[in-house]
A and B are shown apart, each in its own frame.
Chain A
Amino acid sequence: MAQIPNLDNAPVNLTSIREHSQKELLNILKNVRGKKCLVIDPKLGDSLSLIIQTSILKEHGVELRHLSGDPIQTDCSKVVYIVHAQPKLMRFICSNIHNDVSKGLQREYHVYFVPRRTVVCEKVLEEEKLHNMVTIGEYPLYSVPMDEDVLSFELDLSYKECQVDGDTSSLWHIAKAIHKLEFSFGVIPNVRAKGKASVRVADILNRMQAEEPVNSSDMVVPEINTVILLDREVDMVTPLCSQLTYEGLLDEFLHINNGSVELDASIMGLQQEGKKTKVPLNSSDKLFKEIRDLNFEVVVQILRQKATSMKQDYTEMTTTTQTVSELKDFVKKLNSLPEMTRHINLAQHLSTFTSKPSFLGQLDMEHTIVEAQSYDICFEYIEELIHKQEPLTTVLRLLILFSITNSGLPKKHFDYFRRELLHSYGFEHIAMLNNLEKAGLFKKQESKSNWLTIKRALQLVVEDTDTANPNDIAYVFSGYAPLSIRLVQHAIRSGWRPVEEILKLLPGPHLEMKRGGFSNSPSFDTLSGIQSSIAKVPDGRRAVVLVVFVGGVTFAEISALRFLCTQEGMAYDLIIATTKIVNGQTLVETFMEKLG
């Protein structure tokens, strides 16, 4: 399992959040006496590995199993299921129990739903006549700390659910998670939201405050000064572009999952053929913390400098007489050798991808599409990719990007691409195309595109980005500044009033309000109000802004936000909360259906 991230340097006390989740889990296990078998939804298992170590579970007499349709292999007479509240998982549980009954096994069953039980799941148990045999409970795990400044709600499909299925239950989950943060850190006085889902989350949050108020009189100053809610829908351009930060590239090509990446041992220089190895990637790794947010161009240079410097020190050590204290200093430097080896191996592996002409070509097309130049060249390039039968997700990323920046495609081109896609990749993808159209990602053009206006007003395309010493967030894409982070920049510095005209051009409504004394009464910030809201918390730390992405965030966006925190004159620390950390590929995949 992945290494639990070190949260000691977090802007707010995230450690207490994790410890609380640990405590609740251990309480669930203690309520079941004796030895027990813990059966976990595999997806949930990854999240729990960021909450608690396996060794602690074993100390409590717990055997671990993954939930599947196969019968449970264990001697324990007590079985505890911890699962997401999904009907499909309920059928697995019912299948397990029926298997046990048919074998004459007498077992005690407990089912805990994350984060809460639903009527649908209980109905499944009733239909299978197992309701009497099962004790039902809830495990309210609403957010998981991924790193010092990143929280995840672990809602993989919320974007598709909202956009295509019309299922907005995940919005309640998001609001609940924020509300729990408020219990720990105080009522958040300033709320800004952009996007249909985000505005709804803000409304739900207000209702929660009315129903179950946080006692604001207990708090001197709330630790979180502002919450900014952004829909993924507001900015679909950014996740579809190829990320160029080190961590972003790792996610693009090697798929970071819950703070670690899994790959062949041979890539990491180990001599175990055919075996997989897991590499933890979080702030506990000092070298990774230093290079994760840098443009990959720069990472290669830095790794080379470090390796060369260490080699020079070694040569110097063996050729000249050095004192013991100098040798001791060198040995201290050697402690970073495993980290350096690991990242040099990873970077070398990444560079095999990034030096391919197809990757560079794709990069060029993304920039061309974003700059809204040469419509014909983009059209022909995508057409060529379809004819070559390049990976479907690659084609779709460019196609969706193309459609969004042009506010849809002319009917002739739209129909043409649909036909070509179905001919090239198979008719079974028509459901996917339908989902994309419903979500507004690949659609017919109905109005003139606003992208050029947005691009110019927010300065999204930055020429001559200096990737080594960047002065703008555009370095994360080597020239394109993420739209979502530009909105955060404006929200923090001057509020959204100066860019209100541009906000209206983006999908969905927007909202600015103050809470506490002005609860439920929307009002726009005045300039003096903004100035007065920049308050230092008592212990001298900067005030905290919580940025919530509804529908997912990419590592490049996280890097851009961290970059903002390091700038001169920045008055806030930033914490990022998201339904899931995504990239273009995983985002597109959520719209694909498995037919048959």
Chain B
Amino acid sequence: MGILYALVGRGSVVLAEFSGTTTNASAIARQILEKTPGNNDMHVSYSQDRYIFHVKRTDGLTVLCMADDTAGRRIPFAFLEDIHQKFVRTYGRAVHSAQPYGMNEEFSRILSQQMEYYSSDPNADRINRLKGEMSQVRNVMIENIDKVLDRGDRLELLVDKTANMQGNTFRFRKQARRFRSTVWWRNVKLTIALIVVLLVIVYVVLAFVCHGPALPSCF
């Protein structure tokens, strides 16, 4: 339903009010004004049964409204801000010396219009609607990305492939040098083996010529 009652006051003096329904909102509003003395700025909400009273005081001027609990806080406070600006713009400094209900005759109509506007006009919640749409867009984008990437599996596969290649990483030149030394060592081993075989053959021949393994005839 939105905003049902609105009031503008100075201290505990009511300057204007409007009620959209027959309730005891007016009496409760007066109690709230009396319970919140002083001129300091404030920004509070009170709950009463299914309704919430939002109060905003700026520069000694108090704006109050009663709203359905489904209206949230953003719209009622936007309403209060709007009313405050309109009131100050209309009456200026007269606010501080006015008599009780001094502006009610003409400003209550404005209160009525604004209450209706903020209660029913869907544009009043433009930001919320935009946020909702953005959220949908974002979800759709995330879904599309998930589909394209098979929920990350494709990226996972690519990273794994590059990791495997990284495991094969080598510096061409360093590897080449190692291979060269391998070839060199193989040649060395071959040479040594050849020499050993040669020595063995020589020994066998000598052993045969010298009539025995200990080579007795030659020494």
Contact = CB atoms under 8 A, between A and B. Distances in A.
Which of B148, B165, B169, B184: most chain A CB closer than 10 A? B165
Contacts of B81: none
B158 A341 contact: yes
B172 interface: yes
Nearest to A384: B183
Contacts of A318: 142, 146, 152
Contact of B172 (A244, A303, A304): A244
Given A311-B152, A311-B159, A341-B154, A327 B142 contact: yes
A318 B168 CA distance: 32
Contacts of B172: 244, 295, 297, 360, 363, 478
A301 B165 CA distance: 9
Nearest to A302: B162
Nearest to B181: A364
Contact of A334 (B138, B145, B170, B187): B145
Contacts of A303: 162, 165
Contacts of B88: none
Interface string B125-144: 00000000010011001101
Contacts of B149: 314, 334, 337
Interface stretch (A118-126, A183-191, A347-355, A394-402): A347-355
B177 A364 contact: yes
Contacts of B159: 304, 307-308, 311
A307 B158 contact: yes
A361 interface: yes
Interface string A120-144: 0000000000000000000000000
A351 B142 CA distance: 35
23 contacts: A244-B172, A297-B171, A300-B166, A300-B169, A304-B159, A304-B166, A307-B162, A308-B159, A315-B152, A318-B152, A322-B138, A323-B138, A324-B137, A327-B142, A334-B145, A341-B154, A344-B158, A344-B161, A347-B165, A354-B168, A357-B179, A364-B179, A478-B173
The SS class assigned to the A binding surface is helix
B75 to A, nearest CB: 25
A479 interface: yes
A357 B137 CA distance: 54
Interface residues of A, number: 48
B199 interface: no
A364 to B, nearest CB: 4
A381 interface: yes
A308 B165 CA distance: 13
A324 B155 contact: no
Contacts of A322: 138
Contacts of B148: 334, 337
Interface in A12-43: none
Contacts of B180: 364, 368, 374, 377
Contact of A304 (B134, B154, B163): B163
A337 B175 CA distance: 33
Contacts of B165: 300, 303-304, 347-348, 351
A368 B176 CA distance: 9
A196 interface: no
A380 B190 CA distance: 13
The 9 lowest CB-CB distance pairs between A and B, nearest first, are: A304-B162, A364-B176, A478-B172, A307-B158, A364-B179, A311-B155, A355-B168, A327-B141, A300-B165
A562 interface: no
A350 to B, nearest CB: 9
Interface residues of B, number: 36
Nearest to B162: A304
A392 interface: no
B90 to A, nearest CB: 41
Interface string A360-388: 11011001100000100100110000000
Interface string A173-206: 0000000000000000000000000000000000
B184 A377 contact: yes
A340 B149 CA distance: 13
A323 B131 CA distance: 11
A141 B66 CA distance: 87
Contact of A314 (B141, B155, B173, B184): B155
A263 interface: no
A134 B146 CA distance: 62
Given A311-B156, A314-B155, A478-B171, 20 more contacts: A297-B169, A300-B166, A300-B168, A304-B163, A304-B165, A307-B161, A314-B149, A317-B142, A327-B145, A330-B145, A341-B154, A344-B158, A344-B162, A348-B161, A348-B165, A355-B168, A360-B176, A364-B177, A368-B180, A377-B180
Contact of B183 (A317, A340, A377): A377
A380 B183 CA distance: 10
Contact of A331 (B145, B163, B169, B176): B145
A94 interface: no
Contacts of B146: 318
Contacts of B187: 377, 380
Contacts of A334: 145, 148-149
A131 B148 CA distance: 61
Contacts of A374: 180
A305 to B, nearest CB: 8
A310 interface: yes
A301 B167 CA distance: 11
B164 interface: yes
Interface in A265-315: 295, 297, 300-301, 303-304, 307-308, 310-311, 314-315
A320 to B, nearest CB: 12
Contact of B158 (A315, A323, A340, A381): A340
A361 B179 contact: yes
A465 interface: yes
Nearest to A310: B155
Nearest to A464: B173
B91 to A, nearest CB: 43
Contacts of A347: 165
Nearest to B135: A324
